[in-house]
Structure 1
Amino acid sequence: MSADATIRECSRKKQWRAVIAASIGNALEWFDFIVFGFFAGTIAGLFFPTGNETVSLLLTFATFGVTFFVRPLGAVVLGTYADRHGRKAAFSLTIVLMMAGTAIIAVTPSYASIGVLAPALMVVARLLQGISAGAEFGSATAFLAEQNPARRGFFGSWQFASQGLTTILVTIVGFALTSTLTAAQMSDWGWRVPFFLGLLIGPVAYYIRRHVDETAEFKAIQTSERPLQETLAGGKKRLAIAFGAVVLCTVGMYTILFMPTYATRQLGLPAAGAFAAGFLSGVIQFALIPIVGAWSDRIGRLPVAFASATAVLIAIYPLFWWLTEQPSIATLLVVEAIMGLLLAGYMGGLAALLSELFPTRMRTTGLSISYSFAVALFGGFAPFINAWLIGVTNNNLAPSFYLMLAATLSLVALVAARKLGIR
């Protein structure tokens, strides 16, 4: 093998090690984060007993959503840290914070055992996870997108593909538990199992992240001493565009997270089948997002994103209407498969698009702030808003209205991105 070929082979190996490091850690981060939502019904009765099942569930979803209020804090503090000290340093720290929050959830006794301290500890744990998640997206996305600027779409796409992997892992665990344990066992100890699994994997993910190289693109620049001030002073329009582009992504992902609860409570479908539908959606996203990301390196970031967002806007209401008119596991599988396909098309080139909105010296700060605020305002409370809308309107089609709004906002952002020269 020639010297040039050897260098290229070493470079490819380093890039794939980076993908593995970011993806495994990111999947674990989101596993720990969203498994709370998948077991919201059980957690509601154990930690937020009110005598009213709907109020109890809403309090649980509010606890899920409150983490998104502190995500901007994590974005600002750890995002600027990443732009000053490196992506590797930041996303090694985020996984430690996520594990700390997960540990608290895993071991906290229920309300029946320790009273009001139980929901208080649950909120503290979710706040730690929120700070972690606020910086995870920016640091991991910048790290991936900077592996190879010529293939930014493909490498950046693993940010969202790893979230699809999270959906797969969570739904496998959820399906296994709900299929093998009784309701009493789930309430007693079964719901804690996923959190302990996350704790077991965490040290491995941390070790892998600590032993990857910093990106060459970051090492080649003169870092900014004030990345937050620079981003806010010169990048307000870019922050707004990135914010808008994230809206459909985050509402779509958290609506899929809400679907097991929706399927069991509103449609009366078995929990195991609802988890199977979520699994299918995760498989589609994990398989297709990197393909769309690679495609975006050839044809541009916007064409598939435009088409996918438009398809969501047009198709989501008929899909939910069909699901409510013919509620069955088969129908749910088809609906979630289509949702997974459309979201994969939208998110395939999204990480690259967002990364290209910001220069390297302030990239993580810009990514973290825009993403965390969009998720805080639109995504994190999507399960709460969907449950509230259904209760207020007495209309099981309500989740489709929220998705249509999200698609409209993101289409506006894509038009603005085109005007800035993003292709």
Structure 2
Amino acid sequence: MLLSSLGGTLEFYDFVIFVFFAEVISKLFYPSDIGYFWSSFNTYATFAVGYFIRPLGGIVMAHFGDKNGRKNMFMLSILLMVIPTFLMGILPTYESIGYFAPVILLLIRIFQGIAIGGELPGAWVFVCEHTPKNRLGFSIGVLTSSITGGILLGSIASLIVNLKYGDAEVLDYAWRIPFILGGIFGIISVFLRTFLEETPIFQEMKTSQKLLKIPLKEVFLNSKKAIFISGLMTWVLTGCIVILVLLMPNFIYNILNKTYRPITHAQIILIQMGIICTLGIGCLLSGFLRDRFGTVSILKFFSLSFIISSLIFFYVLTSEYSIQTIVIWYLISGLFAGMVNFTPLIMVNIFPANVRFSGLSFSYNIAYAIFGGLAPVLMATIGMYDLMFIGYYLAFLGFISFSVSIYLKSKKFE
């Protein structure tokens, strides 16, 4: 569990560190005469390629994971992330190699997208098949919180580099440091993963010849409801991660400064770190409680608490409340966003073992690409009219999660 979690932390760090230095990358890897807008657009488009390619990467890696073993794909996913990240740290800029620079940058993001598509589903399946059922909630919680830890690690690295080095030094060489370190630590993680053993469930299926030639075909034929439920829970996860954790801090900064409650960028970074921490704690807490009281009861509790806390947070944000009150309710909503831990908990149990990797990876990556990709557009659109609508949207996702708990209760889900 710890080796899987460490790898997940480093892999997500490698994936998101790109966005923390997007402005620097836009200046170094694209011609200066195309203007700020197009260089920024190209940089973020290159970053988005990683998200667009992840469903394909996840589906392909899951196919071979269900056929040839979980460990093999687990090793491959981290290699596909680590090597491009290290190369990113030493990649020549546009000034040195011209248009080869953005082309290689695009290839790096493609390989990283393939890797991230297989890493998290593979990690969830791997931990699930190594863990006793009575400790599965906490084990998955540790793994899921470690993923948010990768985002936290990226923000910390960005903060340290920008505090230690001046703008000229960052632009000259310092931006490379987080990428090179990510590559080095990732290589160490690859070495540590060689000590992992194949899951006993896969070994048993291989011995009894229960492995399928085309696992995804079986998923489409006999697991349609599982795909739907998994897609709904992934929708909930994208709202909590993409909207509440990644995008919301910028909205907080803008709304507070517009309403004469001044706040600095440094304070916003610290607030974002805070909600990442409370989300991680929420994942651990939800998993711990699930192992003692069951999936349905704890999912209901976290869903209702998330609905209430997110509505209160947006109410105090859009009213004349103090920054301290806003931050407290933001962190509380982050704690109950720990209901995202039930997304993998449900998915690893709702698919049969011989198609578990394929079913989980297909459902998760397709839903994440759709709802995660639309989240920024949705926030910009509905937030422009009334920021409270974003709160209603998050509350709706909490309602979806609560509805899933009702469905699972009817199916006597453990």
- Band of TM-score, shorter chain: 0.7 to 0.9
What is the identity, as a one-letter code, of the residue corresponding to 1:93? L
Q: 2:187 aligns with which of 194, 200, 203?
A: 203
- How far the C-alpha of 1:302 sits from its partner, in A, is 2.6
Q: 1:258 aligns with which of 247, 254, 258?
A: 247
Normalized against structure 1, the TM-score is what?
0.83
Q: 1:155 aligns with which of 139, 152, 160?
A: 139
What is the identity, as a one-letter code, of the residue corresponding to 2:117? G
Gaps of 5+ in 1: 1-18
Asked if 1:145 is matched to 2:136, the reply is no
- How far the C-alpha of 1:299 sits from its partner, in A, is 1.6
Q: CA offsets, 1:47-67, max 9 Å, x none?
A: 5676465x7656544433332
Distance verdict in 2 for CA 1:355–1:191, change over 3 Å: same
- How far the C-alpha of 1:23 sits from its partner, in A, is 0.3
- How far the C-alpha of 1:209 sits from its partner, in A, is 1.1
Q: 2:299 aligns with which of 302, 305, 310?
A: 305
Q: CA offsets, 1:35-84, max 9 Å, x none?
A: 2233344445555676465x765654443333222212112111011111
Alignment-derived partner of residue 72 in structure 1:
55
- How far the C-alpha of 1:129 sits from its partner, in A, is 1.1
Distance verdict in 2 for CA 1:191–1:327, change over 3 Å: farther
Q: CA offsets, 1:277-318, max 9 Å, x none?
A: 222223223334233212212222133323333343444354
Alignment-derived partner of residue 225 in structure 1:
213
Alignment-derived partner of residue 235 in structure 2:
247
Q: 2:372 aligns with which of 356, 375, 379?
A: 379
Kept in 2, the 8 Å contact 1:26–1:159? The answer is: yes
Kept in 2, the 8 Å contact 1:247–1:375? The answer is: yes
Task: Look up the SS of the partner of 2:211 in the other structure.
Answer: coil
Kept in 1, the 8 Å contact 2:279–2:334? The answer is: yes
Distance verdict in 2 for CA 1:129–1:277, change over 3 Å: same
**Within 5 Å, which residues of 2 pair with 1:12-51?**
19-47=1-29, 51=35
Asked if 1:274 is matched to 2:268, the reply is yes
Tell me the distance in 1 between the aligned counterparts of 2:97 and 2:320. 44
**Within 5 Å, which residues of 2 pair with 1:22-421?**
22-47=4-29, 51=35, 60-110=43-93, 116-147=99-130, 148-221=132-205, 222-255=210-243, 256-262=245-251, 269-323=263-317, 330=324, 333-344=327-338, 346-383=339-376, 385-387=378-380, 393=384, 399-400=390-391, 402-421=393-412
Q: Give the superposed CA RMSD.
A: 3.0
Q: Answer with 143-152 or 127-136: which moved more.
A: 143-152
What is the identity, as a one-letter code, of the residue corresponding to 1:155? S
What is the identity, as a one-letter code, of the residue corresponding to 1:301? T
Distance verdict in 2 for CA 1:261–1:43, change over 3 Å: farther
Task: Look up the SS of the partner of 2:299 in the other structure.
Answer: helix
Asked if 1:422 is matched to 2:413, the reply is yes
Kept in 2, the 8 Å contact 1:281–1:336? The answer is: yes
Distance verdict in 2 for CA 1:415–1:324, change over 3 Å: same
What is the identity, as a one-letter code, of the residue corresponding to 1:373? I
Task: Look up the SS of the partner of 2:269 in the other structure.
Answer: helix
- How far the C-alpha of 1:91 sits from its partner, in A, is 0.7
Q: Answer with 179-188 or 196-205: which moved more.
A: 179-188
Tell me the distance in 2 between the aligned counterparts of 1:311 and 1:330. 20
What is the identity, as a one-letter code, of the residue corresponding to 2:57? G
Distance verdict in 2 for CA 1:267–1:62, change over 3 Å: farther
- How far the C-alpha of 1:133 sits from its partner, in A, is 1.1
- How far the C-alpha of 1:353 sits from its partner, in A, is 1.6
Kept in 2, the 8 Å contact 1:312–1:407? The answer is: yes
Distance verdict in 2 for CA 1:317–1:261, change over 3 Å: same
Tell me the distance in 2 between the aligned counterparts of 1:389 and 1:122. 33
Distance verdict in 2 for CA 1:132–1:210, change over 3 Å: same
Distance verdict in 2 for CA 1:65–1:151, change over 3 Å: same
Tell me the distance in 1 between the aligned counterparts of 2:392 and 2:97. 40
Q: Answer with 164-173 or 305-314: which moved more.
A: 305-314
Task: Look up the SS of the partner of 2:175 in the other structure.
Answer: helix
Q: Answer with 333-342 or 379-388: which moved more.
A: 379-388
Aligned residues: 401
- How far the C-alpha of 1:116 sits from its partner, in A, is 4.8
- How far the C-alpha of 1:134 sits from its partner, in A, is 1.0
Q: CA offsets, 1:152-171, max 9 Å, x none?
A: 22222222121132133223
Alignment-derived partner of residue 260 in structure 2:
none
Tell me the distance in 2 between the aligned counterparts of 1:387 and 1:263. 13
Alignment-derived partner of residue 10 in structure 1:
none
What is the identity, as a one-letter code, of the residue corresponding to 1:121? I
Q: Answer with 317-326 or 138-147: which moved more.
A: 317-326
- How far the C-alpha of 1:327 sits from its partner, in A, is 9.5
Tell me the distance in 1 between the aligned counterparts of 2:269 and 2:396. 26
- How far the C-alpha of 1:89 sits from its partner, in A, is 1.1
Tell me the distance in 2 between the aligned counterparts of 1:260 and 1:46. 27
Distance verdict in 2 for CA 1:154–1:315, change over 3 Å: closer
